[in-house]
Amino acid sequence: MTESDPRRRRDPSSISRARRYTPRGRTVREAAEGPEDNRARENGARDREAARRERNRTAKQHETDDLAALRRREAAARSRERRLRETGTIPPEPRTPRTQSKATTSRATGSVKSEPVRRTGTVRTSTTRRTGTVKPQRRGAPRRTGRAGGPAPVRPLPSLPRLGNPSRRLRMAAAFVMILLIVSGGRLVQLQITDSAAYAADALNQRLTTEPLPAERGSIMDRNGNRLAYSIEANYIAVDPAMVKSDPAQLAATLAQLLGRPASELEPLIATEQTPQGEDIRFVYLQRGVDLAIGDEIRELEDPGLIIGDDERRVVPGHDLAANVIGFTGGDEGEGLGGLEAAYDTWLSGTDGSVSYERSQTGQPIPGAFYREEEAVPGKGIQLTLDADLQFQVQKILEATVTEHDAEFGSAMVMEVGTGEMLAMASTPTYDAANPFEVDDTEAYRDYGTQATVDPGSIHKAIVFAAALEEGCIEADGTMAVEQSINKGGVWYEDGYQHGDAVLSLAGIIAQSSNVGTIQLADCIGKEKLYEYQLAFGLGAPTGVGVAGESSGILQEPENWSGTSEGSVPIGHEGTATIMQMAAVYATIANDGVWVQPTLVDHLLDAEGNVVEGTLDEDGNVVEGEEPEPETRQVISAETARNLQYLLQAPIAAETGTGRNAQLENYHLAGKTGTGSLVVDGEYAPGNVTSFVGFAPAEDPQYVVAVSVYVPGGGGGGSTTGEAFKEINEFALGYFGVRPATEPAPAFDIWG
């Protein structure tokens, strides 16, 4: 306070004196004083009035400033509260109207105490309590501002928040936007420049689809050009799991009815989008070789994940005709799985092509987009030595024989003498090569002529007779004393025909299939020499006819012979062979002593059906050049062979011959019956393997016929297979136009 402040000079009695008025309107004090004093008082009054007005003006200015500051603080507080509510930091509070703020309330109920705003922006306000009744001030009286010692201090507002800084907020927003732009720009640079190639390649892979173009598989034809197996146009059904729109289970159920495949197998193929290694699956076969009509039905499902492409289907018009030799195809790639289809798979299958293109979400190719096609190289064909008509008759006769004698399996074949070409190769049981997987037992796939090894039995004796003639142990018209039985290694070997101790001719030994006479001839030859003849006739090794999985049989070396081997080996025991090997033995005798490798494949053909000169290597590639001649070797002399050709008529023509039921009118047949055994798991199985192998016509051999069946109930070679041997020869000789014999059958002197 200044010195001129009236409150300092106020006299406690001035109020009471000022209330004393004179009639003229002046106080007693004013009336008592002189004029000069009155002027001084008037001047003092004017000064006081001016000071009061100045104070009022200053107070109003302060009040105006305080009100503006208060409003700014309230606005800032509301702004902060709104931001806090938006961010969820504090729950929203009801806003107090500006007209009812604390400061306004204070002005309405009492004086406002305030202090200047601090630098931190916090202003605290308080309301002055009323301690008594507030009386209105007298007009013109100085306004009280507080206690007697000076004006009351202004307390800061306790709850008003700090005022925001717009410049700082603007700078922060600008920095945030700048950071966002930098990050976005960097990402754009990464996408469009740094990683653009990778993303473009990934997008292309998502659109790109590669489908195979299966190569047409080559045909298998018989010697006359009749197609035994070939391919026709069909469809394959595949799936791209990533493009499938239907429910996999429902789609699998629908396709199962059309493809004939269980839905439980189809659903995993449809639903699996990645391999266990995490690679995307974009193509997997559901079925191959589907009829075109079924492909059209599946196409009508309009699922973009299904792929219907051009394929082929293997057709076997003969169904079971030579099925065990031809084999069958299967698998996702349609590869050969058995027989010649497997042995010549590389040559027949060719090389698949492929087509790659971009397709849309609907599965349709995108016009003008990436497209690349690699053409397929069609497979090539093979022409067999088989004759389809002869094959049919041989197979028919064999099946009748097996059925009649309750045999478990059997095989029959016809070979051309001199060339070794196989004209017919039949096996039973067999299967339908057009539906190869509908079999009860996989043994039906087996070619018993080349894959079943048995004890050959007495058909092996022809090797002993040939060796005995060649080594001079006996003459063609010679005789020898033959006992009823002979002991070898503690085992007695007997003849089935009761003749006692007699002298038999060589023709008689052959006709009656004498075990004792054969063992005696083997003793003359010696086991080492006999082993050499066995090897020369082709035992102990595959013939190489061309059927996959051909067996070699078991041939005992002389050092491995036991005491009984000298009696068992000559008559066809203690060793195994295939009927194909035994047919080659008799073909050697019929071919004037020259062994010729059996042949099943006549020519290799290119895709257009032209003959390809050359042969195939182990990898299935053709080695160009002249076709190699079948392997041949001279085993016995031509004279020995011709003598044996004559003598082998005895089992059929002689009255005591074992093959009398094979006699054929108008033709002279030569051959030998046999009764062997089947070894299963190292032990002989019950029953017999009965065989009949020979050639015709006997005076000019052209065809070798071999028949063999396994009869669990037992039986003899002549009684079981003799009829089949005769019927096959009868059809073959008539089919190929062989002239009948003009001379009667020879008469043999059995006894010496």
Average pLDDT, integer, range 600-621 = 82
Instruction: Tell me the per-residue pLDDT of 230-253, one tens digit each, with 9 for 90 and over.
Output: 999 899 899 989 889 989 999 999
Among 4-18, 187-201, 401-415, 537-551, whose mean pLDDT is lowest? 4-18
pLDDT at 457: 94
pLDDT at 282: 83
Q: Give the number of residues written for the chain.
A: 752
pLDDT at 134: 43
Strands 284-290 and 227-239: antiparallel
Mean of the per-residue pLDDT values of the chain = 83
Per-residue HEC secondary structure of 354-380 comes to EEEEEECCCCCECCCCCEEEECCECCC
Distance CA 572, CA 553 (A): 12
Farthest-apart Cα atoms in the chain, separation: 205
Picking from 596, 592, 745, 575, the residue whose alpha carbon sits closest to that of residue 664 is 745
Average pLDDT, integer, range 379-399 = 96
Average pLDDT, integer, range 415-428 = 96
Say if residues 577 and 539 touch (Cβ distance below 8 Å): yes
pLDDT at 58: 78
Per-residue HEC secondary structure of 671-738 comes to EEEEEECCEECCEECCCEEEEEEEEECCCCCCEEEEEEEEECCCCCHHHHHHHHHHHHHHHHHHHCCC
Residue 283 DSSP SS3: coil
User: What are the C-alpha distances in Å from 631 to residues 160, 594, 598, 624?
Assistant: 116, 10, 9, 18
Say if residues 424 and 414 touch (Cβ distance below 8 Å): yes
Say if residues 711 and 406 touch (Cβ distance below 8 Å): yes
Q: Give the pLDDT band of residue 33 (cuts 50, 70, 90).
A: low
Average pLDDT, integer, range 119-146 = 44
Who wins on pLDDT, 79 or 361? 79
Instruction: Tell me the per-residue pLDDT of 650-670, one tens digit each, with 9 for 90 and over.
Output: 999 999 899 999 999 999 999
Average pLDDT, integer, range 551-579 = 94
Picking from 113, 105, 90, 110, the residue whose alpha carbon sits closest to that of residue 161 is 90
Strands 220-221 and 381-384: parallel
pLDDT at 137: 47
- State the CB neighbour count (10 A cutoff) for residue 1: 11
Q: What residue segments make up the domains of the chain, in order of their start?
A: 33-119
Average pLDDT, integer, range 492-521 = 93
Q: Which residues pair with 211 in a beta bridge?
A: 355
Picking from 339, 335, 333, 332, the residue whose alpha carbon sits closest to that of residue 228 is 339
Q: Give the pLDDT band of residue 515 (cuts 50, 70, 90).
A: very high
Q: Give the pLDDT band of residue 633 (cuts 50, 70, 90).
A: very high
Distance CA 135, CA 133 (A): 6
pLDDT at 446: 93
pLDDT at 160: 61
With 80 as the cut, is the pLDDT of residue 197 above it?
Answer: no
Picking from 528, 642, 557, the residue whose alpha carbon sits closest to that of residue 594 is 642
> Nearest 5°: CA angle at 567, between 536 and 641?
35
pLDDT at 1: 44
Residue 480 DSSP SS3: strand
Instruction: Tell me the per-residue pLDDT of 592-608, one tens digit each, with 9 for 90 and over.
Output: 999 999 999 999 998 88
With 90 as the cut, is the pLDDT of residue 731 above it?
Answer: yes
Instruction: Say if residue 560 is exposed, middle or buried (CB neighbours under 10 Å; 0-12, 13-18, 19+).
Output: exposed
Tokens representing residue 304 in the block = 């973009």
Who wins on pLDDT, 301 or 113? 301
With 90 as the cut, is the pLDDT of residue 732 above it?
Answer: yes
Among 23-37, 203-217, 436-450, whose mean pLDDT is lowest? 23-37
Average pLDDT, integer, range 191-220 = 77
Picking from 514, 324, 521, 450, the residue whose alpha carbon sits closest to that of residue 706 is 450
Give Cα 402 to chain centroid, integer Å.
Answer: 41
Q: What long-range pairs does 651-657 form, CB within 8 A, spacing at least 24?
A: 651/510, 651/511, 651/513, 651/718, 652/694, 653/745, 653/746, 653/747, 653/748, 654/507, 654/508, 654/511, 654/748, 654/750, 655/750, 656/497, 656/508, 656/511, 656/512, 656/750, 657/511, 657/512
Q: Give the pLDDT band of residue 632 (cuts 50, 70, 90).
A: very high
Average pLDDT, integer, range 305-333 = 89
> Nearest 5°: CA angle at 400, between 399 and 403?
85
Distance CA 636, CA 374 (A): 57
Average pLDDT, integer, range 409-426 = 96
Per-residue HEC secondary structure of 240-274 comes to CHHHCCCCHHHHHHHHHHHHCCCHHHHHHHHHCCE
Fill in the DSSP letter of residue 554.
Answer: B
Per-residue HEC secondary structure of 49-98 comes to HHHHHHHHHHHHHHHHHHHHHHHHHHHHHHHHHHHHHHHCCCCCCCCCCH
Q: Give the pLDDT band of residue 117 (cuts 50, 70, 90).
A: very low
Q: Helix 461-470 to helix 527-536 angle, to the nearest 10 degrees?
A: 110
pLDDT at 84: 82
Instruction: Tell me the per-residue pLDDT of 482-495, one tens digit each, with 9 for 90 and over.
Output: 999 999 999 999 99
With the C-alpha atoms ordered 574, 579, 580, 581, is the resulting torsion angle positive or negative?
positive
pLDDT at 607: 87
Who wins on pLDDT, 200 or 386? 386
Average pLDDT, integer, range 115-141 = 44
**What's the one-letter identity of residue 258?**
L
Residue 313's H or E segment, with its range, is strand 306-315
Among 66-75, 379-388, 672-681, whose mean pLDDT is lowest? 66-75
Residue 336's H or E segment, with its range, is strand 335-336
Among 130-144, 505-519, 526-540, whose mean pLDDT is lowest? 130-144
Instruction: Tell me the per-residue pLDDT of 150-170, one tens digit each, with 9 for 90 and over.
Output: 555 666 656 666 666 788 888
Distance CA 108, CA 356 (A): 89
With 70 as the cut, is the pLDDT of residue 104 above it?
Answer: no
User: pTM, whole model, 2 decimals?
Assistant: 0.70
* Residue 616 CA neighbour count, 13 Å, CB half: 20
pLDDT at 99: 43
